Amino acid sequence: MRRKDREITDFAEIKAILDKSKVLRIALNNGDFPYVIPVNFGYYCYDSQLTLFFHGATEGAKHAVIRNDNRVTFEVDCSHDLILPSGKEGCTASFAYESVIGQGYIEKASEEEKEHLLILLLQHYGIDTCTFRPTTLQNTVVYKINVSSYTAKRFSAQSKSN
């Protein structure tokens, strides 16, 4: 990372960014061009191994691309704020943010894991209880991203004034 002063290494802070983020963007290899998809997501961490997960239909473009190449780059961001310049010193506007960017490998969650992961995903968005119809579970696939590496970064109005 070029800007070490913006790097976040404390996992509690990284989890806070994941908790605040509402959209996970995944970039998949679709042959000639990357294929970027915004998805709803959840995450868990066991023994310092971060795993992200998202859901989708059991067929379609996303499913086909993942089946052909399970490598993924992902990104989440939050805490957005436009930082306007003070005075007349030219255009010094900036933008505050927090982000987590990483890479990993996608695998399909097992049928035994699916309902539990969907419940965790809904809890990420503040929905504490839910019952799924059997047809919903049959027509939904849950994908896990086994994260192999990531970095987290923060830029704020306070860091701009320092």
Per residue in 118-134, pLDDT (tens digit) is: 999 999 999 988 888 98
The partner residues of 143 in beta bridges, in order of sequence, read 54, 108
pLDDT at 150 over 70: yes
How do residues 14-38 score in pLDDT, each as one tens digit?
999 999 999 999 999 998 899 999 9
Structural domain includes residue 161: no
Predicted confidence at residue 95, as pLDDT, reads 76
Say if CB 94 and CB 64 are below 8 A apart.
no
The number of folded domains in the chain is 1
pLDDT at 162 over 60: no
Structural domain includes residue 83: yes
Considering 22-26, 75-79, 96-100, 110-114, the range whose residues carry the highest mean pLDDT is 22-26
Q: Provide the whole-model pTM.
A: 0.87
Structural domain includes residue 162: no
Q: How many helices (H) and strands (E) does the chain have?
A: 5, 8
Domain hosting 28: range is 4-154
Structural domain includes residue 29: yes
Smallest CA-to-CA distance from 72 within 41, 29, 130 is with 29
Structural domain includes residue 18: yes
Rounded-to-integer distance, Cα 5 and Cα 1, Å = 9
Structural domain includes residue 55: yes
For position 101, which CATH number holds? 2.30.110.10
